[in-house]
Amino acid sequence: MDRNFNLRPALNIKDPRVLMRVLIGLLLVANLAAAVVAFKPFGGSADDLRRQQQMLTAQLTREQQQLAASKHLVEKVERARSEGDNFLDKYFTDTQTTAAMILTELNTTAREAGIKMGQAQFNRENIEGSDTLQMLTTNVGFEGNYTNLTKFMNLLDKSARFMIIESMQAAAPQQQAGQALNVSLKIDTFVNDTPGATP
């Protein structure tokens, strides 16, 4: 009995099942190759690992420097806020007591300098950009000789109150020429109109 043996397996490319198996096999090989390239599951060379370590170390150093700079900036902002609040508490008076305090300060300074203080007029204006701060402008006249008026200005300059002399006008009365000067000052002070603000 003779039998015919065909050692080549029958490969029928026209069969859709065979074609799909070949296509799926090719896609599987391509996916495995892409995964090896992307994920490098077997690790890189020693040089690759060393370069990667250096890159990560440099990145960590940069991040630590940025963190330190941010902390330093936060500390500066907090210090500025604290110093600003202290400045407002020390030099800005509250609404209720401002006029009386300014009058008392000017009167005491004028007596100490040996000059006479005239009538004072007050004008309050809001400061643009603030809901709570106002500027109080005081117009007041003084009479005295040049030496005493100079002493008054020096004392006013050294006052613990934050006062700005915006303008000064001096005139010598004709009937008392050389004896006395009349000086009009425009003085600005600042008011903190926040409820519960300390004077």
Handedness of CA 52, 53, 59, 62 (dihedral sign): negative
Token look-up 């425009």 returns 186
* Burial class of residue 6 in the structure, from the number of CB atoms within 10 Å of its CB (0-12 exposed, 13-18 middle, 19+ buried): exposed
Binning the chain into helix, strand and coil, the percentages to the nearest 5 are 50, 25, 25
- Backbone torsions φ then ψ of 133, nearest 5 degrees: -100, 140
pLDDT in tens, 65-82: 999 999 999 999 999 999
pLDDT at 91: 72
| 146 pLDDT higher than 90 | no
Please, what is the Cα angle at 121 between 105 and 103, to 5 degrees?
Answer: 15
167-185 pLDDT, tens digit per residue, is 888 887 666 555 678 889 9
Average pLDDT for 118-137:
85
Mean pLDDT of the chain: 81
Tens digit of pLDDT for each residue in 40-61? 656 566 777 788 889 999 999 9
Could you tell me the pLDDT band of residue 9, with boundaries at 50, 70 and 90? low
Q: What is the CATH number of domain 93-192?
A: 3.30.70.60
Predicted pLDDT at 75:
93
Could you give the CA distance from residue 144 to residue 182 in angstroms, rounded to a whole number?
A: 7
Q: Quick one: pLDDT band at residue 36, thresholds 50, 70, 90?
A: confident
The DSSP output letter for 197 is: -
Contact 121, 139 (CB under 8 A): yes
- Sequence-ordered alpha helix ranges (H) in the chain: 16-39, 46-91, 98-113, 146-157
- CA-nearest of 93, 96, 83, 95 to 159 is 93
